Amino acid sequence: MKKIVLIFVFAAVSTISFAQLTVGGHFAYNSTWLMNKQVFDEGAEMDVAASFGNYFGLIAGYYFSDEFGLEINFNSNKIEQKYSGSIKYVLSDERNNYNASTVLKTTDIPILMKFGKNSYFEFGPLFQLINKATYTRTFDATSNFGWYNDKVYPFTNELNKGVKAEFNGMGVGVCMGFGANFNLIEDVLKLNFGLRFNYILTDIQGVNGLGLVKEDPSYISDSERVNFKTNPLYGGLKMGLVYIFE
């Protein structure tokens, strides 16, 4: 019994003697997507286009050893999803093209397990708060009417329309990445480079490429409503500075 107690005491003392607190800041440039099967299934009427966003924030970490630590981030994040499509005119086979975009401003809080120190792999849960959401849509022509999902559709433009109320206020997901830290000042200040990917598992709902919501009674059918689920996916290169307290 004494031996077991001594082993635990030795392990605790070793951990405390090594433990390192880290603080810093970082910036990331991401490819961003609002994954929604209802959008993906629409064909010419609605399609996604390559979109980009970024985040910046604060880092706080605690390393228990050279091989394992915990880190929490507080990030101010921008997610954009661009759309393009065309709607057929009511009395013609011609189509009216449009471009649209949804922009989310969020606060992201990932809590990460870090495996490795200079070179590392990270994984953990992500909590996302949606602070602002806007939607913009521009048709090539705003005269006449279109035909969408067997209903007459007006060709109207929207400019930075507030749609935060259409989104769930919070999402929960996962965060995963890897990277490396390079000494600027030996064991005091490090430059961080990494790749990180984020996926929100819960449905945040919101609007589709035409600005329609899931419960729209006119343009969203029951079969489409089943597939109307929005999950943000974003990832890219990040870099930052990390200060180590011995």
Closest CA to 195 of 161, 238, 225, 157: 238
Overall domain count for the chain: 1
> Rounded mean pLDDT of 5-14?
35
**Alpha helices in 37-142, H assignment, sequence order:** 37-40
- Average pLDDT of the segment spanning 241-246: 90
For the cut 70, the answer to whether the pLDDT of residue 183 exceeds it is yes
Q: What is the pLDDT of residues 106-161, one digit of tens each?
A: 999 999 999 998 899 999 999 999 999 999 999 999 988 999 998 999 999 999 99
Helix (H, G, I), strand (E, B) or coil at 116: coil
pLDDT tens digits for range 206-230: 999 999 999 999 999 998 999 999 9
Q: pLDDT at position 12, please?
A: 36
Closest CA to 79 of 198, 161, 162: 198
pLDDT at 55 over 50: yes
pLDDT of residue 197: 98
Predicted confidence band of residue 91 (pLDDT cuts 50, 70, 90):
confident
pLDDT beyond 80 at 23? yes
What is the structure's pLDDT at 144?
Answer: 87
Residue 187: name the closest of 242, 132, 238 by CA.
242
Domain assignment of residue 153, given as a range = 2-245
pLDDT at 92: 85
Checking if the pLDDT of 11 tops 50, the result is no
Coil, strand, or helix at residue 210? coil
pLDDT of res. 78:
98
Residue length, the chain?
Answer: 246
- Tell me the CATH number at 48: 2.40.160
Among candidate residues 88, 213, 101, the one with its CA nearest the CA of residue 148:
88
Q: How far is CA 231 from CA 36, 153, 168, 171, 172, in A?
A: 7, 27, 11, 9, 10
Instruction: Kindly state the greatest CA–CA separation across the chain.
Output: 90
Tell me which of 11-15, 85-89, 109-113 is least confident. Answer: 11-15
- In this structure, the strands spanning 47-49 and 68-89 are antiparallel
Determine the pLDDT at residue 47. 95
Contact 167, 133 (CB under 8 A): yes
